[in-house]
Amino acid sequence: MSFQAFNTILLCLAAVVPIVFLIVLRTDSWGVTRIQQMSMRARLPIPTWDMWHSIRHRARALLRANMWGMLGGIVVIGGLFVWTPLGAVPSAMWIFTLTLFLVLGIASTIVTVRERLFPPAPAAPRIARATALRVRDYLPSWATHLPTWLLVAAVVTCAALGAATLGGALAPTTFVVAAILLAFSLLVSAVCRLAERRVLARPQPASDTLELAWDDLFRVGTFAPLRMVAAMAAWLPLGLALTGLFFAVVGIDQPDSARLFSLFPWYGIPILQVGYTLLDGRLPARLYPEYLRPTAAPTSPQAASMGGAAA
């Protein structure tokens, strides 16, 4: 089986995932378990059915946008990599995967900016923050700064790789691939920062603190994937440059980039993905101590109904 045929089959199988989700989202039963899990994980209560339906509507809109973005990315970007010479580049599928993650982040950003979580009530009071928050207020310090640290390290190591290449320690192919990956990571970082600013610039009018907390929870669901994509994109040139420098130091000349990629430390990608995925559905306790203290037990319309029946 040819390389292009294998990638085509892989992309067709990947396209099944968003198609299935888009079909499931059309059912009325979707969200019953999902919203309850969100409430338990975030330790935020859902005291009324109106709030439950609003949260379900936003979660459905986000997932639908993500699935359409994934499907479009698989068709357009996947076709570009499969049916053009770009697919022969060893890092093509990694660039495709990160681009797909970036599309999902942009889709989430558009939904977060364009849709309000809770409908305004005419007679309800309005609360707002005295000062605007930043991404570092929503995410742990390591998650906020890790993409920048990795990008700076990637620039430094790529510069060192370029010096080693000019000195004749390595073939130019490795540096060219690393430079392409570095340019890609810079582009991803710029797009992610722009998306974050759009979300932060959006006002957050709310009728009470709980509504504001739920809106912030959806912001975390946007910021964490964006920072994850930026970190993963920065890791690609960093890992390749470190690998190239290792071969330069030990005196092994491997001009074939495919052989270099066979020893490429790809383990950094899944580690980053797992680390940022653990942040999904969680708010820093310092933002809302009245809800997020360890002893807090979220309530939901379902739980309230069961409690009333038991009484």
In this structure, the chain runs to a length of 311
Partners of residue 127 on adjacent β-strands: 206
pTM: 0.80
Q: Output the pLDDT for position 76.
A: 80
Distance separating alpha carbons of residues 189 and 3, to the nearest angstrom: 30
Q: Output the pLDDT for position 33.
A: 85
Distance separating alpha carbons of residues 71 and 19, to the nearest angstrom: 8
Low-confidence ranges of the chain (pLDDT < 70): 1-7, 85-93, 120-130, 250-267, 293-311
Token pair of 211 as six digits = 């509504």
Token pair of 208 as six digits = 């009470």
Token pair of 122 as six digits = 């005419």
Secondary structure, 3-state, 60-86: HHHHHHHHHHHHHHHHHHHHHHHCCHH
Q: Output the pLDDT for position 187.
A: 92
Among residues 256, 232, 112, which one has the least CA distance to residue 181? Answer: 232
- Residue 227's alpha-carbon distances to 44, 157, 192, in angstroms, are 24, 21, 7
Distance separating alpha carbons of residues 256 and 171, to the nearest angstrom: 8
Domain ranges of the chain: 3-119+139-289
Do 55 and 111 contact (CB within 8 A), yes or no?
no
Q: Output the pLDDT for position 305.
A: 46
Token pair of 196 as six digits = 């974050």
Pure H helices in the chain: 3-24, 32-42, 49-82, 92-114, 135-138, 141-166, 172-201, 209-250, 257-262, 268-277, 289-292, 301-310
- Cα 90 to chain centroid distance, Å, stands at 23
Distance separating alpha carbons of residues 170 and 161, to the nearest angstrom: 8
